[in-house]
Structure 1
Amino acid sequence: MTDRRDFLRLGAVGGGAVFLSGLYGHALADNSYDDFYFVQLSDSHWGYKGPANPEAEQTLKQAVEAVNALAQPPEFIVFTGDLTHTTDDPAERRRRMTEFKTIVAELKVKNIHFLPGEHDASLDKGEAFIEHFGRTHYSFDHKGVHFIAIDNVSDPGARIGEAQLAWLKEDLAKQTKDARIVVLTHRPLFDLAPTWDWATRDGQQAIDLLMHYQNVTVFYGHIHQEHHHLSGHIAHHSAKSLIFPLPAPGSQERRTPLPWDSAMPGKGLGFREVEAEAKPVAYQIKEFAAQKG
């Protein structure tokens, strides 16, 4: 059977669209693998103050309440970067990270994986992030899926870097060609809108390494909106933010936030639930509003 990646819009469920992203034609021989759910949150920018979100001190807390209210708790949660808003003051950066940790400690699910965004890490090469959250790149396994967190933000030049690419190659070498692989990152690995900093300068090198594996899906943040893209058989899915939406890629000269709508304060904000399905290998993506209810 010919391999093909397919996207299927299933309709509106629970206040958000549902997509199915998967590689069909490859089944797993190991029947022990189970389906499971995880939640992706991104771009909370704790510490932001400005007209794009006059309620910035509430949106992260509302998202925590919304996740806690899910009918079925996720098995784990990932935050794909820009946990805090950028600041030149190292002490203020650490204060914001401490406050962020205090807020997300209210999540009922305690298995949480954090990634840095450029707002968290580019000014100090990830020093404060590492102090508060640990490693900036790592991998872990969950019920037959190999997750790889790539750091494409600690380098202020928006690069992954030779050392991390070598680590990625070594990590992938331990996987079979049909392994279920999910990549988590902040910036898109592909060139979505380079003039807007919506790209990774050496991201193609990471994609080239991943191309050798049959079942790869990438979840990222940074662009503050839902977006879906294919690099060959590799699917890339961006998440909405928890602070303010940004315009469609390249739709205007500057990537300024979309205007605040006081009548719909949560417009364009949200998080997603991802069901990892074993047979066939697929990821059902369900989008939720950032506010409970």
Structure 2
Amino acid sequence: MIAITKVTTGDIMDHAIKRRSFLKLAGLGGAIYVSGLSGWASAAATAGSAYQDFFFVQLSDTHWGFEGAPNPDAHGTLQKAVKAVNSLEQQPDFIVFTGDLTHTTDDPQERRKRLREFKEIVADLKVKDVRFMPGEHDASLDNGAAYQEFFGKTHYSFEHKGVHFIVLDNVSDPAGSIGEAQLAWLAAELQPLPADANIVVFTHRPLFDLYPQWDWATRDGAKAVELLMPHANVTVFYGHIHQEHHHMTGHIAHHAAKSLIFPLPAPGSQPKRTPLAWDDAYPYRGLGYREIEAEAAPKTDFKIVELPLQKG
């Protein structure tokens, strides 16, 4: 069974953390979550693939175009995130944005303007292997048409160093469904993979019913989880809920990422899903991004390090 182990908690004050500094985090504060994928190294060796250590960075929910409370620096947080990632001593293999690149607008021209501006800002990232997927703010009003003009397909897959990555679109449908056509694609994508394949899924909404009253669910997410369940080594990374959250469906671990624009309350902790207030004493509290490292070892783990956004 995949276990999630919390090592230490608190705030990390230095966003330029070395890739290999995980065990030193107890002295800095911070959080490490370990999602055990015990079959990775042996499966890679059996298949003869050249599995290697690697790490990537996940950013989510930038909402470019958002203005006003609760973030007085709404025009600056995305640039600060780009600067923070560029300052990492060792650059990641790739970067993934898990949706809501822009803030929703009814104006198709404004939607394209925001997508264009977002793309121009993130072009300053040192790492040029940057992966994107839409959130409902980007795609639900036009079924992803404008998004695809700038970023291409809304669902796809890729391989990286012995890991099969799958990007699912559960936002282009305004009802918040994956849809039968995409589920059939997912089934075909999984069919040739061995039961112990190393699989990572990126999605925007959670695939499980976290809190449907706040749209924190995917209507047919259970069908996707059912397709994934026969595979022993699956981890899901998502966004949408603007906070760190960890959940298990059987042996599948699901990890939500913080936002780069404003934090949202814990599921059901208040009557409405309203953003948490800006704290002048602790600006950027609750905002951040994460490093995710996969290590080839007798028992391979994902080490997840949450990094806060900083001033400057």
Q: Which TM bucket (shorter chain)?
A: over 0.9
Would you say 1:17 and 2:31 are equivalent positions?
A: yes
Q: Which residue of 2 aligns with 1:283?
A: 302
Runs of 4+ more than 6 Å apart: none
Query: Percent identical across equivalent pairs?
Result: 66
- Cα distance in 1 between the residues matched to 2:39 and 2:197: 14
1:246-257 mapped onto 2 (5 Å cutoff): 246-257=264-275
Deviation of residue 16 (structure 1)?
Answer: 2.6
Would you say 1:180 and 2:198 are equivalent positions?
A: yes
Question: Could you state the TM-score of these two structures normalised by the residue count of structure 2?
Answer: 0.90
Kindly indicate which of the two structures has a greater share of residues assigned to strand: 1
Deviation of residue 25 (structure 1)?
Answer: 6.4
Question: What is the identity, as a one-letter code, of the residue corresponding to 1:10?
Answer: V
Q: Which residue of 1 aligns with 2:3?
A: 6
Aligned pair in 2 of structure 1 residues 91, 122: CA closer, same or farther (>3 Å)?
same
Would you say 1:81 and 2:99 are equivalent positions?
A: yes
Q: Residue 53 of structure 2 contacts residue 296 of structure 2 at CA under 8 Å; is this kept in 1?
A: yes
Question: What is the identity, as a one-letter code, of the residue corresponding to 1:244?
Answer: F
- Cα distance in 2 between the residues matched to 1:247 and 1:39: 24
Q: Which residue of 2 aligns with 1:54?
A: 72
Q: Residue 23 of structure 1 contacts residue 233 of structure 1 at CA under 8 Å; is this kept in 2?
A: no
1:131-280 mapped onto 2 (5 Å cutoff): 131-279=149-297, 280=299
Deviation of residue 29 (structure 1)?
Answer: 4.2
Q: Residue 56 of structure 2 contacts residue 94 of structure 2 at CA under 8 Å; is this kept in 1?
A: yes
Q: Residue 28 of structure 1 contacts residue 278 of structure 1 at CA under 8 Å; is this kept in 2?
A: no
Question: What is the identity, as a one-letter code, of the residue corresponding to 1:190?
Answer: F
SS at structure 2 position matched to 1:119: helix
1:82-161 mapped onto 2 (5 Å cutoff): 82-161=100-179
Q: Which residue of 1 aligns with 2:44?
A: 30
Deviation of residue 142 (structure 1)?
Answer: 0.1
Question: Could you state the TM-score of these two structures normalised by the residue count of structure 1?
Answer: 0.96
State the Cα deviation string for residues 196-246 of structure 1 (Å, max 9, x = none).
000000000000000010000000000000000000000000000000000
- Cα distance in 2 between the residues matched to 1:27 and 1:136: 30
Aligned pair in 2 of structure 1 residues 29, 202: CA closer, same or farther (>3 Å)?
closer
Q: Residue 16 of structure 1 contacts residue 289 of structure 1 at CA under 8 Å; is this kept in 2?
A: no
Q: Residue 8 of structure 2 contacts residue 29 of structure 2 at CA under 8 Å; is this kept in 1?
A: no
